[in-house]
Amino acid sequence: MDFSDTPAEAAFRAEARRWIAANAPSQHRVALERSSFGVLRVGGDEAEKLAICRDWQRRKFEGGWACLHWPSEYGGRDAGPVERLIWEQEEGVYGKLGERFVIGQGMIGPTLMAHGSPAHKRRHLVPMASGEEIWCQLFSEPAAGSDLAGIRTRCERTAGGWRVNGQKVWTSGAHYSDWGLMLARTDPSVPKHRGLSMFIVNMRSPGVEIRPIRQMSGQSGFNQVFFTDVFIPDEDMLGASGDGWSIALTTLMNERQAVSSSMTTGFDDIFDFCLRFDWRGGKAIDDPVVRSKLATWAARTSGLRFTAMRTISSAARGEVPGPENSILKLVAGMTMQEIAKFALDLQGAAGMVASPEFAEEEGKFQLMLLRSPGMRVEGGTDEIQRNILAERVLGMPPDHRVDKDVSFAALMQAAGDAARRS
C-alpha cells in the first residue's frame, strides 16, 4: 500500500511536469479551468476549438507524450499504466483538450492493435496518436443501442470489396472525423451475433452523409450517419467476415476504461460553490443537510478515483482489467445528475436562469443539469452496466432471452409482426 511515487516515478513526474510547463498552451489555462463537463470554453467556433485541441495533441506527439502506453512504433512511449496515470495527473486541465481524440485513442486504437492487420496498424495508428486523423465509432443504430447485435446496416459483397447501405445514429464527432469503425451485418441468415463484421470506413467516401442531431443540451456533439451504396475495399475489413461481434467487445471493453479514466462527478464544482454561496444566513456549506450531501458525493468521488487507481495497480501487476470498470461511469453519471439538481435547488427560482451573464457560475450547473442525463445513456446505459456487474462480476444468471439461436432474418420478421399487432 503505497500511494506515493517511487524514485523512478518521481523522476518521470518531474520530467513530465517540466515538459508541460515549457510546452502547454498556458494562454488557455483559465478558459480550461472554467470549462466543465461537455463544455469547452476555449476558442470561438467549433473549428477553432478543434484547431486548439489538435495543436496540443500534435505538440504532445512530437515531444513523445501522446498515447504514452502505446508501443513506440505506433507513436507511443511504451509506458506502463502507472506512468500513464502520472501523466494524466500532471497534464491536469490540459487533458480537457483531448476529449475529441478519446474515441480513437482510447477505444479504436486498442481495437486495431488487437485485431488489425500489420498494414492497418502501419497506416492508422500514428496519425491517430498525433491527432492528425480523428475517429468515430459507428456502432449504434435507431433500432439497436443496448441490444447492439441487432444492428441492420448491411454490407454486401461487390467486386474488390463491400457495398454498405444503412444508417447509424448517435455517432459522436462524426462531423469532424476522418475515419470510422463500423459494425455492420454481412450475413442475416445466422443468429444475430454471428452475422456481423467490422469495417474501417473513410468518412469522406462518396455516399456517406452526416446530419448533426441537436441534443437536449442544445449542443450537437453527435450525428446521424447515412450510408448509400458506400464502397469499402476488402482490405478495410477488420478480422474476418463474422468476427464483428468479438471485435466489438474489445472496443466496448476499452470504452469502459477510456471513459472512466477521465470521469468527473462535478464534486469540485459543487464544493466550491457551497463554500461561496450565501444561504439561509450563512454559507451553504455550514448547513448540516448540505454537508450530508456533500460528504456522500465526496466519498463517491474519492472512491471512484481510488478505484481507478486500484485498477491501474492491478494492470501494472499484469492483471487484465475486467467488467468491474462498469462502476465508474455508473457512479459518475448518477452523482453528476444529483449534484446539478442540488446546485439549482440552492439557487431557488434563480436556478432556472441559464444565461451565462446572469446565472451563478456562468450557468455551469444549468449546463450540467442538461448534459448529465446523456452520461447515464452513452457507452452503455446504467441498466446495462448493472446487468454487467451482476452477471459478470457477481455471477448472476443471464437475462431471460427470446432471441437466441434464431436467425436475424426471422427476428426481423417477428419484430415486424409484433409492431403491426400493437
Partner 1 sequence: MDFGFSSEQEELRQSLRTLLARECDMGRVRAALDGRVAFDEPLWRALAEFGAMGVAIPEEYGGLGLGLLELCVIAEELGRAVAPVPFSSAVYLYAQLVLAFGSERQRRDRLPQIAAGREIGTCPADALMSPDRTSLRVSRGRLTGRVPMAHDGLVADWAVLPALDEEGRLGLYLARLSGPGAAREPLASIDPTRTCASLVFTDCEVERLGDGVEMPDLSRVVDTAAVLLAFEQLGGAERALEAGCDYARQRVAFGRQIGSFQAIKHMLANMYVAKTLARSNAYYGAWAMATGHGELPVAAATARVSATQAFQECAMNAIQVHGGVGFTWDYDCHVFFRRSNALALVLGPLSTWESLLVERLRDGARTGDA
Ligand X SMILES: Cc1cc2nc3c(=O)[nH]c(=O)nc-3n(C[C@H](O)[C@H](O)[C@H](O)COP(=O)(O)OP(=O)(O)OC[C@H]3O[C@@H](n4cnc5c(N)ncnc54)[C@H](O)[C@@H]3O)c2cc1C
| From 74, 222, 365, 408, residue interacting with ligand X (rule: CB under 6 A) | 222
198, 137 Cβ separation under 8 angstroms? no
Q: Is 355 exposed, middle or buried (0-12, 13-18, 19+ CB in 10 A)?
A: exposed
Is position 240 an interface residue for partner 1 (rule: CB under 8 A)?
Answer: no
| From 400, 404, 420, 421, residue interacting with partner 1 (rule: CB under 8 A) | 400
C-alpha to C-alpha distance for 232 and 241, rounded to whole angstroms: 13
Sequence-separated contacts (24+) of 204-212 with Cβ below 8 Å = 204/178, 205/230, 205/231, 205/232, 206/230, 206/231, 207/164, 207/231, 210/171, 210/174, 210/175, 212/175
Q: Report the amino acid identity of residue 417.
A: D
32, 41 Cβ separation under 8 angstroms? yes
Is position 333 an interface residue for ligand X (rule: CB under 6 A)?
Answer: no
Sign of CA pseudo-dihedral 214, 216, 219, 224: negative
Nearest Cα residue to 117 out of 236, 272, 243 = 236
Radius of gyration of the chain (CA): 23
Binding mask of the shown chain, residues 269 to 298, with x at each position contacting partner 1 by CB under 8 A: --x---x---------x--x--xx-xxx-x
Binding span for ligand X by CB under 6 A among 167-175, 243-251, 284-292, 345-353: 167-175
Catalytic pick among 141, 255, 338, 378:
255
C-alpha to C-alpha distance for 422 and 419, rounded to whole angstroms: 5
Is position 139 an interface residue for ligand X (rule: CB under 6 A)?
Answer: yes
| From 31, 113, 309, 353, residue interacting with partner 1 (rule: CB under 8 A) | 309
Is position 146 an interface residue for partner 1 (rule: CB under 8 A)?
Answer: no
Residue 107 DSSP code: I
Q: Report the amino acid identity of residue 324.
A: E
Residue 255 annotated among the catalytic residues of the structure: yes
Kindly provide the b/e burial profile for residues 214-240, where b requires at least 16 CB atoms within 10 angstroms of the residue's own CB.
ebebebebbbbbbbeebbbeeebbbbe
Chosen from ligand X, partner 1, none, partner binding at 360 (C-beta under 5 to 8 Å by type): none
226 or 271: CB nearest ligand X: 226
Nearest Cα residue to 39 out of 356, 360, 300 = 356
**Residue number of the CB atom closest to ligand X:** 145
Question: Hey, is 390 helix, strand or coil?
Answer: helix
Nearest Cα residue to 182 out of 220, 135, 228, 240 = 135
Q: What is the DSSP string of 286-348?
A: GSHHHHHHHHHHHHHHHHHHHHHHHHHHHHHTTPPP-GGGHHHHHHHHHHHHHHHHHHHHHHG
258 or 346: CB nearest ligand X: 258
309 or 390: CB nearest ligand X: 390
Is position 251 an interface residue for ligand X (rule: CB under 6 A)?
Answer: no
| Residue 279, C-alpha cell as written in the block | 444561504
| From 81, 98, 106, 145, residue interacting with ligand X (rule: CB under 6 A) | 145
137 or 347: CB nearest ligand X: 137
| From 130, 171, 197, 366, residue interacting with ligand X (rule: CB under 6 A) | 171
Pairing of strands 179-185, 135-138: parallel
Site for ligand X in 198-217 (CB under 6 A): none
| From 224, 257, 261, 307, residue interacting with partner 1 (rule: CB under 8 A) | 307
Binding span for ligand X by CB under 6 A among 91-99, 336-344, 359-367, 382-390: 382-390
Is position 326 an interface residue for ligand X (rule: CB under 6 A)?
Answer: no
Binding span for partner 1 by CB under 8 A among 145-153, 169-177, 312-320, 373-381: 312-320
The distance of closest approach from Cβ of residue 199 to ligand X in the complex, given in angstroms and rounded to an integer, is 14
Is position 140 an interface residue for ligand X (rule: CB under 6 A)?
Answer: yes
Is position 46 an interface residue for ligand X (rule: CB under 6 A)?
Answer: no
316 or 384: CB nearest ligand X: 384
170 or 277: CB nearest ligand X: 170
Nearest Cα residue to 156 out of 229, 255, 206 = 229
Is position 324 an interface residue for partner 1 (rule: CB under 8 A)?
Answer: yes
Binding span for ligand X by CB under 6 A among 25-33, 60-68, 154-162, 168-176: 168-176
204, 180 Cβ separation under 8 angstroms? no
Residues involved in catalysis: 255
Binding residues for partner 1, per CB under 8 A?
Answer: 1-6, 9, 82, 85, 89, 267-268, 271, 275, 285, 288, 291-292, 294-296, 298-307, 309-310, 312-314, 316-317, 324, 327, 330-331, 383, 385-387, 389-391, 393-400
Binding residues for ligand X, per CB under 6 A?
Answer: 136-137, 139-140, 145-147, 170-172, 222, 374, 377-381, 383-384, 387, 399
